[in-house]
């Protein structure tokens, strides 16, 4: 392993296989017991405004948040667009703190997803500018270079690929570059990718495996901190003048408050799982739809202004995360159903994103539709802070493939890609060929 390119695309054969296995194991965990989540949730949306019970466990057959004990609180589920939007928007009534009960054990420090109220609002306001489009777009040349040089160009001679191989690695590689880690130390990147693997592999339901997974993840989380802290100190000593994420975070300020070194390191660390698998699955879904919806590939190949529309419609039509759970901080009520304080409310995103009272022909993948808010990146105060980074990466990946792989198309000798799963949906493989 000498060059960054070799390491970046596939850190090591065995390591790549392990990541593929870990990713496949997570997909299996969330495969669930139904074949068509959209049909199952549409039936509920039309008949039952509020389901009283654990719909996710009972109907989908998958666990909700890692580390969360099933059956510990009264549980309800909502399916309609407006109900899902109202719950996600009202973060004072429908809170996230419970997420730290499971994950918090591993992620001490800034775990923004599990924060509530003014503490969350202030931190979010401090972090937000670094992730707004005008700032994120300045990273485009760096992201384009990583995608082209480290991923697409090295595979060109093969004339065939499973695009999930690059899809598994580029989000981790891009985060490594954006955080500002050294570009001339492939062994450090390989280590970073190995930690990403540990974090994916930690997602288990089996109690013993979950405990072991959490132990390994906790180790990775600690080591990540140990490599991040010196980077943060170095950037601060340099005056935070760089355009990397750490420098941007060092300079972030809101109402006179700034982040200290510990906060910058713990937040940067938390981005590895937030930005990895989610982007892999969304890229896989976008490529699957691009390659399989009749006529779409030719249109997008010839008109790249359609790429953002392709990505937005993918996030509506095939959200990788099919539900979001919240806990009620007070007694409340939805559609006449009383929901006591301390209940879980399951927001079924897969249903709301296909609500035909809001989206015309909601079950049709249509990149020309006028986009309205949907929930693949969440909604309200916790809406994905990295959505513009994710969209930019996926955009650069699709453009790199269409530019560099002449006549890219499905491999007719392999099974067509299929987006699967009750939750954390995505294709396992996307086999393509080119001239």
Interface residues with ligand HEM (CB under 6 A) are 112-113, 124, 271, 274-275, 278-279, 282, 320-321, 324, 376-378, 382, 384-386, 389-390
Give CA–CA dist 126/256, Å, rounded. 10
Cβ at position 283, least distance to ligand HEM in Å:
7
Beta strands in 319-370 (DSSP E): 323-328, 332-334, 337-339, 344-348
Judged by beta carbon, residue 1 or residue 119, the one nearer ligand HEM is 119
Residue of 426, 406, 412 lying closest to 156 (CA atoms):
406
Give CA–CA dist 80/320, Å, rounded. 18
Cβ at position 317, least distance to ligand HEM in Å:
13
Cβ at position 107, least distance to ligand HEM in Å:
11
Containing H/E element for 51? strand 50-52
Cβ at position 304, least distance to ligand HEM in Å:
19
Cβ at position 326, least distance to ligand HEM in Å:
8
Cβ at position 390, least distance to ligand HEM in Å:
4
Give CA–CA dist 44/153, Å, rounded. 47
Judged by beta carbon, residue 271 or residue 296, the one nearer ligand HEM is 271
Give CA–CA dist 37/132, Å, rounded. 33
Cβ at position 300, least distance to ligand HEM in Å:
18
Here the tokens at position 45 are 């949306």
Judged by beta carbon, residue 111 or residue 334, the one nearer ligand HEM is 111
Residue of 340, 131, 101 lying closest to 113 (CA atoms):
101
Q: Are 114 and 100 in contact, with CB atoms under 8 Å apart?
A: yes
Q: Which residue is nearest to ligand HEM (CB)?
A: 386
Judged by beta carbon, residue 116 or residue 411, the one nearer ligand HEM is 116
Judged by beta carbon, residue 268 or residue 434, the one nearer ligand HEM is 268
Judged by beta carbon, residue 63 or residue 378, the one nearer ligand HEM is 378
Judged by beta carbon, residue 204 or residue 353, the one nearer ligand HEM is 353
Cβ at position 396, least distance to ligand HEM in Å:
13
CA dihedral 219, 223, 229, 230 (to 10 degrees): 160
Give CA–CA dist 281/425, Å, rounded. 7
Q: 205: number of CA atoms within 13 Å, CB side?
A: 15
The DSSP symbol for 139 reads G
Q: Are 292 and 416 in contact, with CB atoms under 8 Å apart?
A: yes
Enumerate residues 6+ apart whose C-beta is below 8 A from 346: 54, 55, 56, 64, 75, 76, 77, 78, 323, 324, 325
Judged by beta carbon, residue 38 or residue 131, the one nearer ligand HEM is 131
């Amino acid at each position: 392993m000498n060059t960054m390119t070799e390491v970046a695309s596939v850190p090591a054969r065995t390591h790549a296989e392990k990541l593929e296995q870990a990713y496949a194991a997570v997909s299996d965990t969330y495969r669930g017991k139904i074949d068509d989540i959209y049909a199952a949730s549409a039936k509920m949306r039309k008949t039952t405004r509020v389901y009283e019970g654990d719909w996710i466990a009972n109907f989908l057959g998958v666990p909700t948040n890692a580390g969360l004990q099933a059956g510990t609180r009264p549980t309800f589920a909502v399916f309609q667009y407006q109900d899902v939007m109202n719950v996600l928007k009202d973060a004072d009534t429908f809170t996230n703190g419970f997420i730290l009960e499971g994950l918090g054990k591993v992620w001490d420090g800034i775990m923004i997803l599990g924060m509530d109220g003014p503490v969350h609002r202030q931190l979010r306001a401090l972090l937000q500018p670094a992730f707004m489009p005008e700032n994120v777009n300045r990273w485009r040349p760096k992201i384009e270079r990583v995608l082209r040089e480290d991923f697409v160009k090295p595979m060109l001679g093969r004339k065939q690929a499973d695009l999930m191989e690059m899809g598994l690695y580029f989000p981790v590689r891009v985060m490594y570059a954006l955080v500002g880690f050294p570009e001339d130390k492939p062994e450090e990147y390989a280590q970073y990718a190995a930690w990403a693997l540990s974090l994916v592999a930690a997602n288990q339901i089996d109690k013993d495996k979950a405990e072991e997974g959490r132990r390994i993840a906790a180790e990775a989380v600690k080591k990540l901190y140990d490599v991040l802290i010196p980077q943060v100190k170095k950037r601060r000593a340099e005056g935070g003048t760089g355009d990397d994420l750490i420098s941007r975070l060092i300079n972030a300020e809101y109402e006179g408050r700034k982040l200290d070194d510990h906060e910058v390191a713990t937040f940067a660390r938390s981005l590895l799982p937030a930005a990895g698998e989610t982007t892999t699955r969304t890229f896989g879904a976008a490529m699957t739809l691009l390659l399989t919806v009749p006529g779409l590939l030719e249109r997008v190949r010839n008109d790249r202004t359609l790429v953002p529309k392709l990505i937005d419609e993918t996030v509506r039509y095939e959200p990788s995360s099919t539900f979001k759970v919240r806990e009620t901080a007070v007694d409340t009520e939805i559609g006449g159903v009383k929901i006591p304080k301390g209940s879980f409310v399951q927001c079924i995103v897969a249903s709301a994103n296909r609500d035909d009272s809001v989206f015309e022909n909601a079950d049709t993948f249509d990149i020309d539709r006028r986009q309205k808010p949907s929930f693949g990146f969440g909604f309200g105060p916790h809406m994905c802070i990295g959505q513009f980074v994710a969209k930019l990466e996926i955009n650069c990946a699709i453009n790199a493939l269409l530019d560099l792989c002449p006549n890219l198309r499905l491999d007719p000798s392999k099974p067509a890609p299929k987006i699967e799963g009750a939750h954390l949906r995505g294709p396992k493989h996307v086999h393509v060929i080119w001239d």
